[in-house]
Amino acid sequence: METTNVKAYGAQSKEASLEQLNIVRREVTAKDIEIEILYCGVCHSDLHTARNDWGGTVYPAVPGHEIVGKITKVGSEVTKFKVGDTAAVGCMVDSCRTCESCQHDLEQYCMTGFTGTYNGRDKHLGKQTFGGYAEKVVVDEHFVLKVPENLDLAATAPLLCAGITTWSPLRHWKVTKGSNVAVIGLGGLGHMAIKLAKALGANVTLFSRSPEKKQDAFDLGADEIVISTDKSQMSGARGKFDLIIDTVPYIHDVNHYIPTLGINGTIVLVGYLGPLDPMLNTVPMIMGRKSVAGSLIGGIAETQEMLDFCGEHNITSEIEIIKMQDINEAYERMLKSDVHYRFVIDMASLKE
Ligand code: NAP
Ligand code: ZN
Ligand code: ZN
């Protein structure tokens, strides 16, 4: 198969800083689109992958799954896009397309596993996939999204992961006008969850460990802030929420939040992956028919729905634009929860 060399940024090992390297992209096949990447958001999953927090990272690892760019080539059977269009790619670049999940627009739950934009397995090249910290990407048109024309391109990039990951549970648990929603953690996912829940008409509360983020949370649309380390504030929030979206990336005590759910309420974990410690206490769940759930990004149709909703409501991410060369410092700031509220890489810097 024909390939081209592309400049990228990636990690050679879990201890290594990210540095410039060359990767290979396939030439477009009949259904493929080649995109020149203009902007790529920096998700906490990029950091987890570069540092092998979840195990299974193949090196070199090139992260990045919040991609916005311009189409530079299309294959002979591409129908949805043309050269020159703006296009976006999120966390998936392929799936089986035939299983029950794929047939129901739930490619993220593909029974044989979707192909991740990075650290997945490219079916064409038989090698690992490389993400958006690169000049270009080649993707099957089914996994390419349209960007509403009124939205700022850099600030749209984070919608492709932070946006859809919070939109999907808001939709699945039918959040609507008057729903009581809480968000745990004001980072990339958390700030999008506040904006999207607010635009759906919900009353929105933020749980945060960081009192200094209070004003920002109000400015983003939160109605209330609860400092999660303050016992009296936590007990004041008992029995309140229909849905809590927990975006905390590391192990934490989920039991702490269950009393704040109302009867039939659900806490959906989207951040931390792995066993919980301390274990979950079932008593408060049983006593109020409460659920603890998980959720993974969102399907392609749902991602387009979210982008269109953001276009209609003029919603984008709060961003700090960085150069590709600043990525290692950005990761260190992300570990300190010092992101306001998403880093986005201006990919023109990779040409410097
Ligand atoms: P982020 O920007 O770093 O934000 C995480 C926020 O969580 C922080 O700003 C902080 O908020 C809070 N936090 C951080 N460490 C904490 C700790 N040890 N205990 C309690 N709170 C803590 O990260 P992100 O990009 O939003 O990603 C969040 C997580 O979601 C990551 O683990 C990422 O891998 C995962 N993710 C999952 C999916 C999915 O499909 N399920 C998709 C994308 C990302 P405060 O300062 O307000 O407390
Ligand atoms: Zn992500
Ligand atoms: Zn499938």
What pLDDT, in 10s, does the model give residues 20-56? Answer: 999 999 999 999 999 999 999 999 999 999 999 999 9
**Residue 65 in this model has a pLDDT that exceeds 90:** yes
- Does residue 247 have its Cβ closer than 6 Å to ligand 1? yes
- Does residue 45 have its Cβ closer than 6 Å to ligand 1? yes
279: tokens are 């274990």
Instruction: Quote the ligand 2 centre to 43 CA distance (angstroms).
Output: 5
Atom of ligand 1 lying closest to residue 269 CA:
41
Under a CB-based contact definition with an 8 Å cutoff, are residues 156 and 179 in contact? no
Instruction: Quote the ligand 1 centre to 77 CA distance (angstroms).
Output: 39
Distance separating alpha carbons of residues 160 and 158, to the nearest angstrom: 5
Say which residue the tokens 């929603």 belong to.
181
Q: What percent of the chain has pLDDT over 90?
A: 99
DSSP state of 237: T
pLDDT in tens, 173-196: 999 999 999 999 999 999 999 999
Count the alpha carbons within 13 Å of 155 in the hemisphere toward its beta carbon.
17
Distance separating alpha carbons of residues 36 and 172, to the nearest angstrom: 33
pLDDT in tens, 316-335: 999 999 999 999 999 999 99
**Residue 126 in this model has a pLDDT that exceeds 90:** yes
Give just the sign of the alpha carbon dihedral 345, 269, 247, 156.
positive
H/E segment holding residue 227: strand 224-227
pTM higher than 0.85: yes
DSSP state of 225: E
Average pLDDT, the chain: 98
pLDDT in tens, 91-117: 999 999 999 999 999 999 999 999 999
**Residue 144 in this model has a pLDDT that exceeds 90:** yes
What's the pLDDT at 352? Answer: 87
Instruction: Quote the ligand 3 centre to 268 CA distance (angstroms).
Output: 23
Give residue 53's region: left, alpha or beta (phi > 0; psi -120 to 50): alpha
